[in-house]
Amino acid sequence: MNHLKTDGPSAGGIRVMLADDQALIRSGLQMLLSVHPGIEVVGEANDGAEAVDLARRLQPDVVVMDVGMPGTDGVAATRQITADAFTEDPGHTIKVIILTGLGSAPEDVFAALRAGASGYLLKDAAPTELAAAIESVAGGLAYLAPTVTPGVIADIASRSGPVRPVVGIVDRLTPREREILIHMAHGLGNDEIAKTLFLSVATVKTHVCRIIMKLEVTGRTQAVVVAYQSRLVEPGESA
Strand order in the sheet with 95-100: 2-3, 39-45, 14-19, 62-66, 95-100, 119-122, 143-144
Decide which of 42 and 4 is more confident.
42
pLDDT, tens digit, 9 for 90 and up, residues 123-180:
877 778 899 889 989 988 778 776 565 556 656 656 545 555 566 789 999 999 999 9
- Is residue 7 pLDDT above 60, yes or no? no
Q: How far apart are CA 133 and CA 150, in angstroms?
A: 18
Domain stops at, among 154, 184, 208: 154
**Any idea what the CATH number is for the domain that residue 180 is in?**
1.10.10.10
166 shares a domain with 80 = no
Q: What is the pLDDT of residues 189-236, one digit of tens each?
A: 788 899 999 999 899 989 999 998 898 877 777 788 788 878 888 765
Which of these ranges, 26-40, 69-83, 155-169, 199-213, has the smallest mean pLDDT?
155-169
Residue 236 domain flag: no
Determine if the pTM surpasses 0.85: no
Number of domains in the chain: 2
